[in-house]
A = this chain, B = another copy of it.
Amino acid sequence: MHPLRKHIEELINLTDEEFDMVLSHFEPIKKRKHQYLVQEGELVDKEFWVLKGCLKSYFVDDEGKEHILQFGMENWWITDYESFVKQTPSKISIDCIEDSELLYITFENREKLTAQMHKMERFWAKKSKYGRIALQNRILSLLKNSAKERYDVLLEQYPQLFQRVPKKLIAAYLGVSRETLSRLSL
């Protein structure tokens, strides 16, 4: 089964014809490590689904410090949702941490697809709900947990991440300096 189909069918069921229809709205794209998918300031009209690889969506502040909003690995969706939904210039950038293969759907195609296939509208609605819950929990974690506790939570939730990305990126995601992260008695 196509990995995208497998992914979608975790939330809704599709017939062969329906999945073909879905897939026809996507385009494949390959990028190498260090290449970008989205750059700050541009209008993002695509949502990406990761077939293979690893990416980061991040923001660089005026002191040059990088803050990571989200990682993306196999089966994850990644884009700047603010730019994608509101059609405003992106505040964030998305880069490949590894060579990556993605499928993307444009804003326009997503509108078309959801209009003609109510199931997919429900799929993305569910994704959006779950995404919101994850963000809510991250906020709670930033408010209530120490750096060490946040590290432990992340390690428990996404152990694969620690095999694949440098610690300084983990630090930029958790909101600590890499020196402090290195000193947390792990």
User: Which one of B65, B69, B85, B125 contacts A130 once the chains associate, using CB atoms below 8 Å?
Assistant: B85
* A61 close to B (CB within 8 Å): yes
Copies of this polypeptide in the complex: 2
Check if A139 sits within 8 Å of B140, measured CB to CB: no
Closest beta carbon of chain B to A11's beta carbon, Å: 12
Question: Which are the 3 A-B pairs with shortest beta-carbon distances?
Answer: A135-B135, A67-B143, A132-B132
Docked CA distance A129–B121 (Å): 13
Given A128-B128, A138-B139: A67 and B144 interface contact (C-beta under 8 Å) = yes
139-174 of chain A: CB within 8 A of chain B: 139-140, 142-144
Contact status B85-A140, CB under 8 Å: no
- Tell whether, in the assembled complex, residue B140 and residue A67 are in contact, meaning their CB atoms are under 8 Å apart: yes
Q: Which residues of B contact A121 (CB under 8 A)?
A: 121, 125
A133 lies within 8 A of B59 (CB):
no
Find out whether the CB atom of A69 lies under 8 angstroms from the CB atom of B140: yes
If over half of A's interface residues share one DSSP class (helix, strand or loop), that class is named, otherwise mixed; here it is helix
The answer to the question of A86 belonging to the interface, with a C-beta cut-off of 8 Å to chain B, is yes
Q: Mark A78-93, 1 if CB is under 8 A from B, else 0.
A: 0001100110000100
Task: Quote the shortest CB–CB distance from A142 to chain B (angstroms).
Answer: 5
Take A138-B139, A140-B59 as given contacts and tell me if A133 and B65 are in contact as well, using a CB distance cutoff of 8 Å.
no
